[in-house]
Structure formats: C-alpha cells, structure tokens
Structure 1
Amino acid sequence: MGVSTLLYNAVFKRTSTFAVAILASAFFFERGLDVACDSIFENINKGKLWKDIKHKYEQ
C-alpha cells in the first residue's frame, strides 16, 4: 500500500473529506502566511513602530 493509495483512501475518496481538507489547509496556510508577513514587516520596520517608540511619549 503506497502513500498515494493511503492518501486517496483517507482524503480524496469522499467529497466531504476532500472539502474539509481544503478548508483546513486554506486556514493553516492563511495563518502561516499572516505570521510570516507580520514578522517580515516588523523586522524591516524595527525601531519605527509604535511598540518600539511608545516609551518616549508615555508618561
């Protein structure tokens, strides 16, 4: 029993499990991409963001 047969029987054989797999993978992909983009943005703008300079303006 190969990996492709196992994958077919577990996910692709029924439409409902295929739809759930698509929704779950889209959710986790979106979350991962969001975290990665936020990390890149914060790394590029380090020292310019409010969380980095708020101590200068708060009393």
Structure 2
Amino acid sequence: MAFSASIYNTLIRKNWIFVGAIFGGAFGADIAFDVYSDRFWDWKNQGRQWKDIRHKYVQSDDE
C-alpha cells in the first residue's frame, strides 16, 4: 500500500507531472523499440544487406 501511495504522490497527483511522465515514457519506449527492432533486423538479415556486401561492388579511391 505504501508503494502505490508513493507513486500516486510522486507522479499522478499533479497533472503536469503525470502528463510529462506519460510523454517521457512514450518517448523512451519509442527509442527502445526502434533500437531493438533495428538490431533484430540486422541480425536476421546479416550478410544480405548493402552495408555487408558493399565492398564487393564499390571500389575505393585508393585503387
């Protein structure tokens, strides 16, 4: 009961803090989802993406 009361007094009691916590949480969740979905995509498609095979087709300026 004390934990829920401390959460209420900290986040929900004032509207501007509650809205800020919601927006902050949504922003953080969006960034986390983007990062982890990109990592998963790169893991599942390793060796088939342009960044992995570019060296086969593009010559550097040194050559």
TM range (shorter): over 0.9
Q: 1:58: Cα distance to partner?
A: 1.3
Give matches, 1:6-21, under 5 Å. 6-21=6-21
* Amino acid paired to 1:8: Y
SS in 2 for 1:46: coil
The 1-side partners of 2:26 and 2:2 are apart by 26
Q: Which residue does the alignment assign to 1:44? A: 44
Q: Which residue does the alignment assign to 2:35? A: 35
Among the aligned pairs, what percent are the same residue? 37
Q: Which residue does the alignment assign to 1:55? A: 55
Query: Following TM superposition, where does structure 1 have runs of at least 4 consecutive aligned residues deviating by more than 6 angstroms?
Result: none
The 2-side partners of 1:41 and 1:56 are apart by 22
Larger Cα Rg: Structure 1 or Structure 2?
2
Q: Could you state the TM-score of these two structures normalised by the residue count of structure 2?
A: 0.88
Structure 2 gaps of 5+ residues are none
The 2-side partners of 1:3 and 1:51 are apart by 49
The 1-side partners of 2:3 and 2:30 are apart by 26
The 2-side partners of 1:50 and 1:9 are apart by 51
Structure 1 gaps of 5+ residues are none
Residue correspondences, number: 59
